[in-house]
Structure 1
Amino acid sequence: MNGLAVFDLDGTLVDTAPDLIDTTNVVLARRGVPAMKAADLLPHVGLGARAMIDATLLAAGITLPDAEIDACHAEFLSHYGERIAKLSRPFPEMLDALATLEGAGVGLAVCTNKREANAKALLSAFGLLDRFRFVAGADTFAVSKPDPGHLTMTIDNAGGTVDRTVYVGDSRVDVMTARAANVPIVGVTYGYTDVPMTALDPDRLLNRGDDVGAAILELMGCLTV
Protein backbone atom coordinates (compact mmCIF):
# COMPACT_ATOMS: atom_id res chain seq x y z
CA MET A 1 0.00 0.00 0.00
CA ASN A 2 1.49 3.33 -1.10
CA GLY A 3 0.20 5.43 1.75
CA LEU A 4 -3.30 6.01 3.09
CA ALA A 5 -5.92 8.66 2.36
CA VAL A 6 -8.50 9.18 5.11
CA PHE A 7 -11.68 11.08 4.32
CA ASP A 8 -14.28 12.86 6.36
CA LEU A 9 -17.77 11.95 5.13
CA ASP A 10 -20.42 14.68 5.46
CA GLY A 11 -19.52 17.64 3.26
CA THR A 12 -16.33 15.96 2.06
CA LEU A 13 -17.12 12.65 0.37
CA VAL A 14 -20.87 13.07 0.18
CA ASP A 15 -23.17 16.08 0.01
CA THR A 16 -25.45 14.98 2.84
CA ALA A 17 -26.76 18.41 3.84
CA PRO A 18 -30.10 18.11 2.01
CA ASP A 19 -31.12 15.02 4.00
CA LEU A 20 -29.75 16.33 7.30
CA ILE A 21 -31.43 19.72 6.97
CA ASP A 22 -34.72 18.20 5.85
CA THR A 23 -34.66 15.79 8.79
CA THR A 24 -34.05 18.63 11.25
CA ASN A 25 -36.97 20.63 9.91
CA VAL A 26 -39.31 17.62 9.80
CA VAL A 27 -38.61 16.66 13.42
CA LEU A 28 -38.97 20.21 14.75
CA ALA A 29 -42.07 20.96 12.66
CA ARG A 30 -43.85 18.34 14.77
CA ARG A 31 -43.34 20.73 17.66
CA GLY A 32 -44.46 23.83 15.83
CA VAL A 33 -40.95 25.13 15.10
CA PRO A 34 -40.67 27.03 11.79
CA ALA A 35 -38.36 25.51 9.20
CA MET A 36 -34.91 27.04 8.94
CA LYS A 37 -33.58 27.95 5.49
CA ALA A 38 -30.99 25.53 4.16
CA ALA A 39 -28.39 28.28 3.68
CA ASP A 40 -28.77 29.38 7.31
CA LEU A 41 -28.55 25.86 8.73
CA LEU A 42 -25.69 24.71 6.50
CA PRO A 43 -22.83 26.04 8.72
CA HIS A 44 -24.17 23.93 11.60
CA VAL A 45 -24.41 20.66 9.67
CA GLY A 46 -20.83 19.64 10.34
CA LEU A 47 -21.34 20.02 14.09
CA GLY A 48 -23.98 17.28 14.28
CA ALA A 49 -27.70 16.80 14.84
CA ARG A 50 -27.75 18.50 18.24
CA ALA A 51 -26.15 21.62 16.82
CA MET A 52 -28.67 21.75 13.99
CA ILE A 53 -31.57 21.33 16.41
CA ASP A 54 -30.19 23.99 18.75
CA ALA A 55 -29.58 26.43 15.89
CA THR A 56 -33.10 26.01 14.54
CA LEU A 57 -34.64 26.55 17.97
CA LEU A 58 -32.48 29.61 18.58
CA ALA A 59 -33.43 31.13 15.22
CA ALA A 60 -37.09 30.63 16.05
CA GLY A 61 -36.70 32.02 19.59
CA ILE A 62 -38.08 28.80 21.05
CA THR A 63 -36.82 27.06 24.17
CA LEU A 64 -37.54 23.39 24.80
CA PRO A 65 -36.82 21.37 27.95
CA ASP A 66 -33.71 19.20 27.85
CA ALA A 67 -35.84 16.06 27.84
CA GLU A 68 -37.73 17.30 24.78
CA ILE A 69 -34.49 18.10 22.97
CA ASP A 70 -33.31 14.56 23.77
CA ALA A 71 -36.54 13.29 22.21
CA CYS A 72 -35.93 15.45 19.14
CA HIS A 73 -32.46 13.98 18.79
CA ALA A 74 -33.77 10.43 19.02
CA GLU A 75 -36.44 11.17 16.42
CA PHE A 76 -33.81 12.78 14.21
CA LEU A 77 -31.66 9.64 14.25
CA SER A 78 -34.64 7.41 13.47
CA HIS A 79 -36.01 9.56 10.65
CA TYR A 80 -32.59 10.18 9.13
CA GLY A 81 -31.72 6.49 9.18
CA GLU A 82 -34.86 5.75 7.17
CA ARG A 83 -34.01 8.22 4.38
CA ILE A 84 -30.24 8.46 4.64
CA ALA A 85 -29.55 8.67 0.90
CA LYS A 86 -32.82 10.15 -0.39
CA LEU A 87 -31.33 13.51 -1.39
CA SER A 88 -27.62 13.00 -0.64
CA ARG A 89 -25.09 12.46 -3.44
CA PRO A 90 -21.32 11.84 -3.58
CA PHE A 91 -19.27 14.80 -4.75
CA PRO A 92 -18.02 14.03 -8.30
CA GLU A 93 -14.55 15.32 -7.40
CA MET A 94 -14.31 12.69 -4.69
CA LEU A 95 -15.40 9.83 -6.92
CA ASP A 96 -12.63 10.86 -9.32
CA ALA A 97 -10.17 11.08 -6.41
CA LEU A 98 -11.00 7.58 -5.18
CA ALA A 99 -10.30 6.17 -8.63
CA THR A 100 -7.03 8.11 -8.92
CA LEU A 101 -5.83 6.96 -5.51
CA GLU A 102 -6.78 3.34 -6.05
CA GLY A 103 -4.89 3.42 -9.34
CA ALA A 104 -1.82 4.68 -7.48
CA GLY A 105 -2.06 1.93 -4.85
CA VAL A 106 -3.12 4.28 -2.04
CA GLY A 107 -5.37 2.78 0.64
CA LEU A 108 -8.65 4.46 1.56
CA ALA A 109 -10.42 4.96 4.89
CA VAL A 110 -13.14 7.12 6.44
CA CYS A 111 -13.06 8.99 9.76
CA THR A 112 -16.36 10.73 10.47
CA ASN A 113 -18.38 12.00 13.40
CA LYS A 114 -21.42 10.35 11.87
CA ARG A 115 -22.44 7.20 13.71
CA GLU A 116 -20.65 4.18 12.26
CA ALA A 117 -23.82 2.34 11.23
CA ASN A 118 -25.14 5.42 9.42
CA ALA A 119 -21.79 6.05 7.76
CA LYS A 120 -21.65 2.50 6.44
CA ALA A 121 -25.29 2.60 5.35
CA LEU A 122 -24.68 5.81 3.43
CA LEU A 123 -21.56 4.49 1.71
CA SER A 124 -23.35 1.22 0.90
CA ALA A 125 -26.23 3.12 -0.70
CA PHE A 126 -23.77 4.49 -3.26
CA GLY A 127 -21.79 1.27 -3.70
CA LEU A 128 -18.73 2.78 -2.05
CA LEU A 129 -18.33 0.88 1.23
CA ASP A 130 -16.13 -1.94 -0.08
CA ARG A 131 -13.60 0.56 -1.41
CA PHE A 132 -12.54 1.55 2.11
CA ARG A 133 -10.19 -0.45 4.31
CA PHE A 134 -11.82 0.90 7.46
CA VAL A 135 -14.73 3.19 8.37
CA ALA A 136 -14.66 4.85 11.79
CA GLY A 137 -17.70 6.68 13.09
CA ALA A 138 -18.25 8.84 16.16
CA ASP A 139 -19.12 5.74 18.19
CA THR A 140 -16.43 3.37 16.87
CA PHE A 141 -13.88 4.29 19.53
CA ALA A 142 -14.06 5.89 22.96
CA VAL A 143 -13.11 9.24 21.41
CA SER A 144 -14.18 11.17 18.31
CA LYS A 145 -13.01 14.24 16.40
CA PRO A 146 -11.46 16.64 17.27
CA ASP A 147 -9.63 14.16 19.51
CA PRO A 148 -6.64 13.07 17.39
CA GLY A 149 -7.07 9.52 18.63
CA HIS A 150 -10.09 9.15 16.38
CA LEU A 151 -7.89 9.71 13.34
CA THR A 152 -4.81 7.83 14.53
CA MET A 153 -6.84 4.76 15.50
CA THR A 154 -8.57 4.89 12.11
CA ILE A 155 -5.14 4.90 10.47
CA ASP A 156 -3.99 1.95 12.60
CA ASN A 157 -7.09 -0.09 11.80
CA ALA A 158 -6.74 0.65 8.08
CA GLY A 159 -3.19 -0.71 8.14
CA GLY A 160 -1.55 2.66 7.61
CA THR A 161 0.97 4.79 9.45
CA VAL A 162 0.65 8.40 10.54
CA ASP A 163 3.75 9.42 8.60
CA ARG A 164 2.28 8.11 5.31
CA THR A 165 -1.29 9.40 5.64
CA VAL A 166 -3.15 12.41 4.27
CA TYR A 167 -6.52 13.47 5.69
CA VAL A 168 -9.27 15.15 3.67
CA GLY A 169 -11.92 17.29 5.34
CA ASP A 170 -14.20 20.29 5.07
CA SER A 171 -14.41 21.80 8.55
CA ARG A 172 -12.67 23.44 11.48
CA VAL A 173 -13.02 20.18 13.40
CA ASP A 174 -11.24 18.28 10.62
CA VAL A 175 -8.33 20.72 10.58
CA MET A 176 -8.04 20.63 14.38
CA THR A 177 -8.00 16.83 14.32
CA ALA A 178 -5.39 16.56 11.59
CA ARG A 179 -3.11 19.13 13.19
CA ALA A 180 -3.32 17.39 16.58
CA ALA A 181 -2.53 14.04 14.95
CA ASN A 182 0.36 15.54 12.94
CA VAL A 183 -1.26 14.48 9.67
CA PRO A 184 -1.34 16.82 6.64
CA ILE A 185 -4.80 17.85 5.51
CA VAL A 186 -6.45 18.68 2.21
CA GLY A 187 -9.26 21.13 2.97
CA VAL A 188 -12.23 21.54 0.62
CA THR A 189 -14.09 24.84 0.54
CA TYR A 190 -17.53 23.54 -0.40
CA GLY A 191 -18.44 21.57 2.72
CA TYR A 192 -20.08 22.39 6.03
CA THR A 193 -18.11 24.45 8.51
CA ASP A 194 -18.71 27.21 11.02
CA VAL A 195 -15.35 28.74 10.04
CA PRO A 196 -14.51 29.05 6.32
CA MET A 197 -11.84 26.62 5.17
CA THR A 198 -10.03 29.58 3.59
CA ALA A 199 -9.36 30.86 7.13
CA LEU A 200 -8.12 27.51 8.48
CA ASP A 201 -4.85 27.22 6.50
CA PRO A 202 -4.95 23.54 5.42
CA ASP A 203 -1.92 22.09 3.67
CA ARG A 204 -3.86 22.15 0.39
CA LEU A 205 -6.98 24.24 -0.25
CA LEU A 206 -9.32 22.98 -2.96
CA ASN A 207 -12.45 24.34 -4.60
CA ARG A 208 -15.20 22.66 -6.61
CA GLY A 209 -13.78 21.00 -9.69
CA ASP A 210 -10.19 20.85 -8.41
CA ASP A 211 -8.27 17.58 -8.69
CA VAL A 212 -8.44 16.15 -5.16
CA GLY A 213 -6.58 12.96 -6.03
CA ALA A 214 -3.63 14.86 -7.49
CA ALA A 215 -3.44 17.09 -4.40
CA ILE A 216 -3.36 14.07 -2.09
CA LEU A 217 -0.66 12.35 -4.14
CA GLU A 218 1.37 15.56 -4.20
CA LEU A 219 1.22 15.81 -0.42
CA MET A 220 2.17 12.16 -0.06
CA GLY A 221 5.17 12.77 -2.25
CA CYS A 222 6.37 15.33 0.30
CA LEU A 223 6.14 12.90 3.22
CA THR A 224 9.05 10.93 4.59
CA VAL A 225 9.24 7.44 3.07
Structure 2
Amino acid sequence: MGTVVFDLDGTLADTSGDLLEAANSCFRSLGYGDLLTSEDAGVALRGGRMMLRTGLARVGRAEDEAEVDRQYPALLAAYGNAICVHTYLYPRAMEAVTELKANGIAVGICTNKPEGLAVQLMTELGVLDEFACLIGADTLPVRKPDPAPFHACVTGCGGDPARAVMIGDSDTDHNTARAAGVPSVLVTFAPGGAEPMRALGPDALLDDYADLPGIVARLLA
Protein backbone atom coordinates (compact mmCIF):
# COMPACT_ATOMS: atom_id res chain seq x y z
CA MET A 1 0.00 0.00 0.00
CA GLY A 2 1.24 3.45 -0.86
CA THR A 3 0.95 6.45 1.44
CA VAL A 4 0.42 10.13 0.69
CA VAL A 5 1.54 12.56 3.39
CA PHE A 6 0.20 16.10 3.23
CA ASP A 7 1.55 19.26 4.74
CA LEU A 8 -1.29 21.33 6.23
CA ASP A 9 -0.79 25.11 6.04
CA GLY A 10 -0.69 26.23 2.41
CA THR A 11 -1.13 22.68 1.14
CA LEU A 12 -4.46 21.33 2.34
CA ALA A 13 -5.82 24.65 3.56
CA ASP A 14 -5.16 28.36 3.29
CA THR A 15 -4.71 29.27 6.95
CA SER A 16 -3.02 32.61 6.33
CA GLY A 17 -5.94 34.85 7.28
CA ASP A 18 -6.30 33.50 10.81
CA LEU A 19 -2.53 33.35 11.31
CA LEU A 20 -2.13 36.99 10.28
CA GLU A 21 -4.91 38.05 12.63
CA ALA A 22 -3.22 36.24 15.53
CA ALA A 23 0.06 38.01 14.83
CA ASN A 24 -1.62 41.38 14.47
CA SER A 25 -3.32 40.89 17.83
CA CYS A 26 0.17 40.75 19.34
CA PHE A 27 1.26 43.90 17.54
CA ARG A 28 -1.88 45.70 18.70
CA SER A 29 -1.12 44.73 22.28
CA LEU A 30 2.28 46.42 21.84
CA GLY A 31 0.60 49.59 20.59
CA TYR A 32 1.61 49.27 16.94
CA GLY A 33 -1.69 48.39 15.34
CA ASP A 34 -1.76 45.88 12.48
CA LEU A 35 1.72 45.45 11.00
CA LEU A 36 0.86 42.63 8.57
CA THR A 37 -1.60 42.63 5.68
CA SER A 38 -3.08 40.06 3.32
CA GLU A 39 -0.02 40.60 1.13
CA ASP A 40 1.97 38.84 3.86
CA ALA A 41 0.11 35.55 3.40
CA GLY A 42 3.31 33.83 2.32
CA VAL A 43 5.02 35.01 5.50
CA ALA A 44 2.15 33.65 7.60
CA LEU A 45 2.62 30.18 6.19
CA ARG A 46 6.26 30.21 7.33
CA GLY A 47 5.17 30.21 10.95
CA GLY A 48 4.39 32.37 13.95
CA ARG A 49 7.92 33.44 14.73
CA MET A 50 8.49 34.55 11.15
CA MET A 51 5.35 36.69 11.30
CA LEU A 52 6.51 38.28 14.54
CA ARG A 53 9.99 38.96 13.16
CA THR A 54 8.55 40.48 9.99
CA GLY A 55 6.18 42.78 11.82
CA LEU A 56 8.74 43.90 14.39
CA ALA A 57 11.24 44.64 11.63
CA ARG A 58 8.75 47.15 10.23
CA VAL A 59 8.94 49.17 13.43
CA GLY A 60 12.72 49.04 13.72
CA ARG A 61 12.98 45.99 15.95
CA ALA A 62 14.42 43.49 13.48
CA GLU A 63 16.84 41.98 15.98
CA ASP A 64 14.48 41.80 18.95
CA GLU A 65 14.34 38.03 19.42
CA ALA A 66 13.46 38.52 23.09
CA GLU A 67 10.19 40.18 22.05
CA VAL A 68 9.55 37.40 19.57
CA ASP A 69 9.93 34.91 22.41
CA ARG A 70 7.62 36.93 24.66
CA GLN A 71 4.91 37.28 22.02
CA TYR A 72 4.98 33.76 20.61
CA PRO A 73 2.85 32.16 23.38
CA ALA A 74 0.34 35.02 23.05
CA LEU A 75 0.20 34.47 19.30
CA LEU A 76 -0.51 30.76 19.76
CA ALA A 77 -3.24 31.53 22.30
CA ALA A 78 -4.87 34.09 20.02
CA TYR A 79 -4.69 31.69 17.11
CA GLY A 80 -6.24 28.86 19.10
CA ASN A 81 -9.12 31.12 20.11
CA ALA A 82 -9.97 31.95 16.47
CA ILE A 83 -8.38 29.20 14.40
CA CYS A 84 -11.04 28.69 11.75
CA VAL A 85 -12.61 32.06 10.99
CA HIS A 86 -10.98 32.78 7.62
CA THR A 87 -9.35 29.40 6.96
CA TYR A 88 -10.63 27.23 4.11
CA LEU A 89 -9.69 23.94 2.48
CA TYR A 90 -8.40 24.26 -1.05
CA PRO A 91 -10.87 23.34 -3.80
CA ARG A 92 -11.14 19.61 -4.48
CA ALA A 93 -8.61 18.73 -1.77
CA MET A 94 -10.93 16.43 0.12
CA GLU A 95 -12.31 14.92 -3.08
CA ALA A 96 -8.73 13.97 -3.94
CA VAL A 97 -8.26 12.46 -0.47
CA THR A 98 -11.43 10.40 -0.92
CA GLU A 99 -10.26 9.15 -4.32
CA LEU A 100 -6.80 8.26 -3.03
CA LYS A 101 -8.34 6.21 -0.22
CA ALA A 102 -10.67 4.49 -2.68
CA ASN A 103 -7.57 3.55 -4.68
CA GLY A 104 -6.02 1.88 -1.64
CA ILE A 105 -3.70 4.76 -0.71
CA ALA A 106 -3.34 5.71 2.95
CA VAL A 107 -3.33 9.43 3.75
CA GLY A 108 -1.80 11.34 6.65
CA ILE A 109 -0.69 14.83 7.68
CA CYS A 110 2.82 15.94 8.67
CA THR A 111 2.91 19.60 9.65
CA ASN A 112 5.14 22.05 11.48
CA LYS A 113 2.06 23.46 13.20
CA PRO A 114 1.89 22.35 16.87
CA GLU A 115 0.00 19.07 17.03
CA GLY A 116 -2.76 20.36 19.31
CA LEU A 117 -3.53 23.27 17.02
CA ALA A 118 -3.42 21.05 13.94
CA VAL A 119 -5.87 18.60 15.50
CA GLN A 120 -8.11 21.49 16.59
CA LEU A 121 -8.12 23.00 13.10
CA MET A 122 -8.82 19.76 11.27
CA THR A 123 -11.58 19.00 13.76
CA GLU A 124 -13.20 22.40 13.21
CA LEU A 125 -12.91 21.91 9.45
CA GLY A 126 -14.68 18.58 9.94
CA VAL A 127 -12.07 16.42 8.21
CA LEU A 128 -9.76 15.10 10.93
CA ASP A 129 -11.14 11.56 10.69
CA GLU A 130 -10.33 11.39 6.99
CA PHE A 131 -6.62 11.07 7.81
CA ALA A 132 -5.05 7.98 9.36
CA CYS A 133 -2.30 9.86 11.21
CA LEU A 134 -1.34 13.43 12.10
CA ILE A 135 2.18 14.40 13.15
CA GLY A 136 2.77 17.96 14.36
CA ALA A 137 5.78 20.11 15.11
CA ASP A 138 5.96 18.92 18.71
CA THR A 139 4.89 15.29 18.28
CA LEU A 140 8.55 14.25 18.08
CA PRO A 141 11.73 15.95 19.34
CA VAL A 142 12.45 17.01 15.73
CA ARG A 143 10.34 18.57 12.97
CA LYS A 144 10.48 18.83 9.20
CA PRO A 145 12.74 18.91 7.23
CA ASP A 146 14.11 16.14 9.44
CA PRO A 147 12.64 13.00 7.85
CA ALA A 148 11.68 11.42 11.19
CA PRO A 149 8.21 13.06 11.40
CA PHE A 150 7.50 12.02 7.82
CA HIS A 151 8.52 8.42 8.55
CA ALA A 152 6.42 8.44 11.72
CA CYS A 153 3.41 9.63 9.76
CA VAL A 154 3.80 6.93 7.11
CA THR A 155 4.17 4.15 9.65
CA GLY A 156 1.29 5.63 11.65
CA CYS A 157 -0.81 5.23 8.51
CA GLY A 158 0.25 1.59 8.29
CA GLY A 159 2.40 2.27 5.26
CA ASP A 160 5.94 1.63 4.07
CA PRO A 161 8.24 4.71 4.14
CA ALA A 162 9.78 3.51 0.88
CA ARG A 163 6.40 3.73 -0.90
CA ALA A 164 5.22 7.20 0.00
CA VAL A 165 4.85 10.69 -1.45
CA MET A 166 5.12 14.10 0.24
CA ILE A 167 2.68 16.85 -0.80
CA GLY A 168 3.70 20.35 0.27
CA ASP A 169 4.10 24.02 -0.54
CA SER A 170 7.59 24.96 0.58
CA ASP A 171 11.28 24.20 0.51
CA THR A 172 10.78 22.60 3.94
CA ASP A 173 8.41 20.02 2.46
CA HIS A 174 10.61 19.49 -0.58
CA ASN A 175 13.69 18.99 1.60
CA THR A 176 11.75 16.61 3.84
CA ALA A 177 10.90 14.47 0.85
CA ARG A 178 14.48 14.50 -0.34
CA ALA A 179 15.77 13.56 3.12
CA ALA A 180 13.24 10.72 3.28
CA GLY A 181 14.12 9.51 -0.22
CA VAL A 182 10.57 9.87 -1.56
CA PRO A 183 8.96 11.90 -4.35
CA SER A 184 8.11 15.54 -3.72
CA VAL A 185 4.90 17.12 -5.07
CA LEU A 186 4.58 20.88 -4.57
CA VAL A 187 1.36 22.84 -5.00
CA THR A 188 1.35 25.95 -7.16
CA PHE A 189 -1.71 27.66 -5.62
CA ALA A 190 -0.38 28.53 -2.15
CA PRO A 191 0.39 32.20 -1.38
CA GLY A 192 4.07 31.66 -2.10
CA GLY A 193 3.26 31.22 -5.80
CA ALA A 194 4.20 28.76 -8.50
CA GLU A 195 7.64 29.97 -9.60
CA PRO A 196 9.47 29.36 -6.29
CA MET A 197 8.01 25.84 -6.24
CA ARG A 198 9.06 25.17 -9.82
CA ALA A 199 12.58 26.39 -9.03
CA LEU A 200 12.96 23.73 -6.34
CA GLY A 201 12.69 20.98 -8.96
CA PRO A 202 10.09 18.71 -7.35
CA ASP A 203 9.06 15.42 -8.92
CA ALA A 204 5.71 17.00 -9.81
CA LEU A 205 3.85 20.29 -9.54
CA LEU A 206 0.19 20.27 -8.53
CA ASP A 207 -2.00 22.95 -10.09
CA ASP A 208 -5.35 21.39 -9.18
CA TYR A 209 -6.24 18.72 -6.63
CA ALA A 210 -8.27 16.95 -9.31
CA ASP A 211 -4.91 15.89 -10.80
CA LEU A 212 -3.42 14.46 -7.60
CA PRO A 213 -4.61 10.83 -7.81
CA GLY A 214 -3.09 10.49 -11.27
CA ILE A 215 0.18 12.08 -10.16
CA VAL A 216 0.41 9.76 -7.16
CA ALA A 217 -0.31 6.69 -9.27
CA ARG A 218 2.51 7.66 -11.63
CA LEU A 219 5.01 8.38 -8.87
CA LEU A 220 4.27 5.16 -6.99
CA ALA A 221 4.27 2.98 -10.11
* TM-score, normalised by the number of residues in structure 2: 0.92
Is the alpha carbon distance of 1:193 and 1:140 closer, same or farther for their aligned partners in structure 2, counting shifts above 3 Å?
A: farther
Report if aligned partners of 2:19, 2:79 keep a CA contact under 8 Å in 1: yes
Unpaired runs of at least 5, structure 1: none
- The one-letter code of the counterpart of 1:212 is L
SS at match of 2:162: helix
Is the alpha carbon distance of 1:193 and 1:123 closer, same or farther for their aligned partners in structure 2, counting shifts above 3 Å?
A: same
What do the CA deviations read for 1:173-193 (whole angstroms, capped 9, x no partner)?
000110011011111012254
Tell me the residue number matched to 1:129. 128
Q: CA deviation at 1:85?
A: 0.8
**CA distance in structure 2 between the partners assigned to 1:107 and 1:210 by the alignment:** 17
Tell me the residue number matched to 2:28. 29
Q: CA deviation at 1:64?
A: 7.4
Q: CA deviation at 1:214?
A: 2.1
Tell me the residue number matched to 1:213. 213
What do the CA deviations read for 1:145-200 (whole angstroms, capped 9, x no partner)?
11111211221222111221111000010001100110111110122549811111
Alignment of 1:148-159 (within 5 A): 148-159=147-158
**CA distance in structure 1 between the partners assigned to 2:156 and 2:102 by the alignment:** 22
Is the alpha carbon distance of 1:162 and 1:203 closer, same or farther for their aligned partners in structure 2, counting shifts above 3 Å?
A: same
Tell me the residue number matched to 2:199. 199
Q: CA deviation at 1:55?
A: 0.9
Tell me the residue number matched to 2:78. 79
**CA distance in structure 2 between the partners assigned to 1:45 and 1:95 by the alignment:** 23
Report if aligned partners of 1:170, 1:192 keep a CA contact under 8 Å in 2: no
Unpaired runs of at least 5, structure 2: none
**CA distance in structure 2 between the partners assigned to 1:97 and 1:86 by the alignment:** 24
- 2:169 corresponds to 1:174: no
**CA distance in structure 1 between the partners assigned to 2:95 and 2:59 by the alignment:** 40
**CA-atom RMSD in angstroms:** 1.8
Q: CA deviation at 1:220?
A: 1.6
Tell me the residue number matched to 1:44. 43
Report if aligned partners of 1:186, 1:203 keep a CA contact under 8 Å in 2: yes
Tell me the residue number matched to 2:88. 89
Is the alpha carbon distance of 1:66 and 1:202 closer, same or farther for their aligned partners in structure 2, counting shifts above 3 Å?
A: closer
Tell me the residue number matched to 1:62. 61
- The one-letter code of the counterpart of 2:179 is A
Q: CA deviation at 1:45?
A: 2.3
What do the CA deviations read for 1:103-124 (whole angstroms, capped 9, x no partner)?
1111111000000011111111
**CA distance in structure 2 between the partners assigned to 1:59 and 1:65 by the alignment:** 12
Q: CA deviation at 1:142?
A: 1.0
Is the alpha carbon distance of 1:186 and 1:65 closer, same or farther for their aligned partners in structure 2, counting shifts above 3 Å?
A: closer
**CA distance in structure 1 between the partners assigned to 2:61 and 2:79 by the alignment:** 23
* TM-score, normalised by the number of residues in structure 1: 0.90
Report if aligned partners of 1:93, 1:212 keep a CA contact under 8 Å in 2: no
Is the alpha carbon distance of 1:125 and 1:82 closer, same or farther for their aligned partners in structure 2, counting shifts above 3 Å?
A: same
- The one-letter code of the counterpart of 2:211 is D
Aligned residues: 219
**CA distance in structure 2 between the partners assigned to 1:15 and 1:178 by the alignment:** 21
Tell me the residue number matched to 1:141. 140
**CA distance in structure 1 between the partners assigned to 2:200 and 2:92 by the alignment:** 21
**CA distance in structure 1 between the partners assigned to 2:22 and 2:138 by the alignment:** 21
